[in-house]
């Protein structure tokens, strides 16, 4: 049996090595540290002490322990000589690229010279940007290189995964330098990360690999399929290295020459919004900038690329039609086409129907309340899933059981419509809807709604009193039993909603998100469109404009203006709407 295990491991290693040799890598990110300060467009400081979950002894400062000079980054650990951070005997630094340089798959490299001494613990590693699978260790961790200063000729490469901090595992190996140590010279540490395989290298030599096909991943989830970001830090003390001793010299310097990322063409993904309101302007889509590549973008028919064609980043004015944002990337390695679907919808709520489980939703229980929040597949209003909340005990406040969201943005003076489908386990049950301040919990909008025991749609319309990212809460804490929800919609209310009054008569008027451009949509060839000033003097007249027409109020003279739409056949007034205030 041991021989069989050895042969299987050998076969896997040969397969992994050969697959690596066949790859064609494109440089997509390089941080050369050529300036005189840390580039905060790429990195941010993580600040604080408290042990960082490992009983570490340092306080991470806001830049005081970082130096960029002579082409390298230097993270410096030192004693807290002035006792500026009580409870932390040392100071150091920890920086990361979260939401500034995130990657999914590729070859990650850094050229590093390590510090030395008992209790010294530097690392170059990656953590998930969005915790798609849940908190640590469910969404994984990839340690490209770790090093203990008391063992200066050994480095470690590891990945971590699991169900919980008490039910977890890892896969890793160590590499021992045949001669010399990692303190006296620079070495290149690399990790190749593919969808189902991760490999670790030291100066180009493979020393560990792990595959999603490993039997352990029939029990644990393989979480390495999401965006991760870099972390560079120098810890002092902690559970693994132990504390510094009398022989440890301070300060200690962790020196990084460069950090680079290479990707294969299929791994080059488009970054940009997938859910947009109609007529959103200045929306950015990008792929990583590949050395020597050319780019050709295409967008839906009624969208317009206003800048960036031929580069890795475009700016787009969207229309009212959903469709693919596509790019053809041509490099010496070949050509790849990538796309992202831009869903144009007035609905501002991603995962409005719980088809992506409870993503984007929050569930809260306070003051001893208990309720089951169930993604139910047996009785959805539409699709395959609804959210059902079974309240099992009562507490003093109706807000002690909440379903909610934290991603709702209001603009003062804008009109909004919230609608959703719901049903209760008995007629006459009520719930409370509120839009509140995220920290003071002041209520801006409140409604009480009475439910029935069958699916019904409920609608709230209001004008926002404030410009703010607010909490949207559904409060259920004052009645026992089950209430189910599905198909939420939250949108800026159309100034004139789409309607059908005849077989060929369809018209809608939308105000763009920037509040300066108005869009008419429908079968507009049967209408005459006029722009008038406050004296009802016609500024311009438009006919036979097709199915859409835009009015940029910034191009109109100062003063009040409105749009008037009449039927060409009989001159009947169809619409008159103010579009510019004095």
Q: What is the separation of C-alpha 355 from the centre of its chain, rounded to a whole number of angstroms?
A: 18
Residue 539 structure tokens? 């500024």
Residue with structure tokens 């990322």?
Answer: 261
d(CA 387, CA 502): 38
DSSP 493: P
| DSSP codes, 51-93 | TTTTT--EEE-SSTTEEEETTEEEEEEEE-TT--STT-SEEE-
Residue 38 structure tokens? 């840390």
Residue with structure tokens 């650990």?
Answer: 77
d(CA 370, CA 363): 11
> Which residue is catalytic, options 31, 56, 109, 141?
141
User: Residue 90 in 3-state DSSP?
Assistant: strand
Residue-level length of the chain: 582
Do the beta carbons of residue 513 and residue 530 sit within 8 Å?
A: no
User: Residue 442 in 3-state DSSP?
Assistant: coil
DSSP 319: -
d(CA 23, CA 11): 19
Do the beta carbons of residue 85 and residue 97 sit within 8 Å?
A: no
d(CA 221, CA 212): 9
User: Residue 8 in 3-state DSSP?
Assistant: helix
Active site residue 511: no
DSSP 65: T
- The span from the first CA to the last CA of the chain, in angstroms, equals 85
d(CA 260, CA 239): 30
Calculate the dihedral angle through the C-alpha atoms of 421, 425, 429, 430, rounding to the nearest 10 degrees.
-40
Smallest CA-to-CA distance from 480 within 393, 388, 567, 377 is with 393
d(CA 321, CA 341): 11
Q: How many CB atoms lie within 10 A of CB 451?
A: 20
> Which residue is catalytic, options 56, 67, 109, 146?
146
Q: Using CB atoms within 10 A of its CB, is residue 372 exposed (0-12), middle (13-18) or buried (19+)? A: exposed
Do the beta carbons of residue 187 and residue 256 sit within 8 Å?
A: no
Tell me the torsion sign for CA atoms 194, 197, 198, 201: negative
Q: Bridge partners of 179?
A: none
Residue 409: C-alpha distances to residues 10, 12, 36, 130, 488 (Å): 55, 50, 39, 20, 15
Do the beta carbons of residue 290 and residue 312 sit within 8 Å?
A: yes
d(CA 101, CA 30): 10
C-alpha Rg value of the chain to the nearest Å: 29
d(CA 529, CA 240): 74
Active site residue 226: no
Q: Which residues are catalytic?
A: 141, 146
């Amino acid at each position: 049996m041991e021989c069989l295990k050895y042969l299987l491991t050998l076969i896997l290693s040969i397969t992994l090595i050969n697959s690596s040799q066949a790859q064609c890598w494109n440089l997509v990110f390089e941080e050369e540290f050529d300036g005189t300060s840390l580039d905060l467009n790429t990195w941010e400081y993580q600040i604080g002490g408290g042990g960082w979950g490992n009983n570490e002894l340092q306080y991470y400062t806001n830049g005081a322990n970082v130096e960029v000079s002579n082409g390298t980054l230097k993270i410096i650990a030192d004693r807290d000589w002035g006792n500026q951070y009580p409870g932390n005997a040392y100071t150091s630094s920890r920086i990361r690229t979260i939401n500034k340089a995130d990657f999914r798959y590729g070859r990650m490299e850094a050229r590093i010279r390590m510090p030395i001494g008992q209790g010294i613990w530097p690392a170059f590693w990656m953590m998930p940007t969005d915790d798609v699978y849940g908190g640590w260790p469910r969404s994984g961790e990839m340690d490209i290189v770790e090093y203990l200063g008391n063992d200066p000729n050994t480095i470690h490469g590891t990945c971590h995964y699991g169900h919980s901090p008490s039910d977890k595992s890892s896969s890793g190996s160590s590499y021992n330098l045949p001669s010399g140590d990692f303190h006296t010279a620079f070495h290149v540490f690399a990790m190749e990360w593919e969808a189902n395989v991760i490999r670790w290298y030291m100066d180009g030599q493979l020393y560990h690999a792990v595959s999603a096909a490993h039997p352990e991943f029939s029990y644990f989830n393989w979480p390495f399929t999401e965006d991760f970001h870099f972390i560079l830090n120098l810890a002092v003390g902690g559970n693994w290295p132990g504390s510094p001793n009398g022989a440890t010299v301070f300060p200690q310097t962790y020196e990084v020459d460069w950090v680079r990322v290479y990707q294969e063409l299929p791994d080059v993904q488009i970054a940009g919004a997938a859910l947009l309101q109609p007529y959103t302007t200045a929306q950015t889509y990008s792929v990583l900038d590949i050395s020597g590549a050319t780019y050709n973008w295409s967008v839906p028919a009624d969208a317009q690329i206003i800048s960036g064609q031929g580069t890795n980043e475009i700016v787009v004015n969207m229309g009212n039609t959903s469709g693919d944002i596509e790019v053809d990337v041509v490099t010496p390695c070949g050509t790849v086409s990538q796309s992202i679907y831009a869903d144009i919808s007035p609905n501002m709520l991603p995962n409005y129907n719980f088809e992506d489980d409870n993503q984007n939703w929050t569930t809260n229980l306070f003051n001893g309340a208990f309720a089951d929040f169930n993604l139910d597949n047996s009785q959805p209003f539409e699709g395959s899933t609804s959210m059902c909340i079974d309240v099992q005990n009562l507490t003093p406040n109706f807000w002690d059981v909440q379903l909610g969201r934290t991603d709702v943005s209001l603009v003062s003076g804008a009109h909004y419509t919230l609608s959703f489908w719901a049903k209760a386990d008995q007629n006459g049950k009520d719930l409370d809807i509120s839009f509140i301040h995220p920290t003071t919990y002041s209520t801006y909008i409140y409604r009480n709604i009475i439910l029935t025991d069958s699916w019904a749609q409920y609608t709230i319309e209001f004008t926002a009193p404030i410009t703010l990212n607010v909490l949207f809460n559904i409060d259920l804490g004052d009645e026992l039993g089950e209430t189910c929800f599905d198909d939420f919609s939250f949108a800026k209310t159309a100034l004139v909603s789409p309607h059908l009054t005849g077989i060929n008569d369809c018209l809608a008027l939308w105000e763009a998100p920037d509040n300066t451009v108005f869009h008419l949509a429908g079968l507009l060839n049967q209408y005459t469109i006029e722009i008038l000033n406050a004296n009802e003097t016609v500024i311009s007249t438009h006919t036979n404009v097709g199915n859409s027409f835009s009015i940029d109020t910034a191009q109109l003279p100062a003063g009040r203006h409105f749009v008037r739409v009449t039927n060409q056949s009989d001159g009947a007034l169809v619409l008159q709407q103010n579009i510019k205030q004095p």
